[in-house]
Amino acid sequence: MNSRQPLPGPAGLLVIDKPRGPTSTSVCRLVKARLRRAGAPRTVKVGHGGTLDPLASGVLVVLVGRAATRLCGRIMAGEKRYTAHVDLSHRSTTDDGEGELTEISVLRPPAREEIDAVCSRFVGRIMQTPPAHSAMMVGGRRAYDMARRGEDPGLRARPVEIHSISVVEYEWPRLVIDVRCGKGVYIRSLARDIGLALGPGAMLADLRRTAVGEFTIDRATPLDSLPEAIRQADLIPVPASA
């Protein structure tokens, strides 16, 4: 009888600068494959601390091993920070550039003072309706699957927390904002709603997540710079308090 115990698998975190294109799940699959290449067991668990849409870039916290994946809830509950580019001249069926676009015409572009005033109305605890094309579950189905079939998923507004919105740059029709927020905020919805508060609407043109809790973009490794074989030494240790 073989009494040898299996070697413990790797455990820790990776802070990745995800480019536009890949899904968060596909990044986790890539990490798992590279862990296996370095000898990690097939059963090693890999997850992430908060989804980043394919059209978004920036900080994605990848959790490796059971000790790290147990931190998922804590990391997802932390503050997120984003740089969002809002297009005030288009609406979209998906609230971003992936959907069917409708051009917006205005008699007069809003002044900077109007932009500041409207953005300030979305700071605090607000009610926000998720995009129809989102991964929200409705009766056991994904909202985006229903929306693609022409069905109305009937998503309801729910409370979310936005800590701050700062206007970084504004030149009609491009608005760049820095957003700090809590769990569950859809920046696509925020862009849409800011546009609706100004008049005919808007859409999210580009999004970059610059922080997830303590994990900031300056600590992130570009996806194409990850080692071909990821070892324990490449991981951030799991906090001792976890």
Instruction: List the catalytic residues.
Output: 53
Find, among 106, 2, 35, 57, the residue nearest to 222 by Cα: 57
The owner of tokens 């870039």 is: 57
Residue that has been written with the tokens 């990821």 in this structure: 230
| Axis crossing angle, helix 187-198 with helix 112-120, rounded to the nearest 10 | 130
Q: Which residue has the tokens 């951030």?
A: 236
The contacts of residue 63 (CB under 8 Å, 6+ apart) are 13, 45, 46, 47, 48, 49, 69, 71, 72, 75
Alpha carbon 225 to its chain's center: 21
| Tokens coding 16 | 């990745």
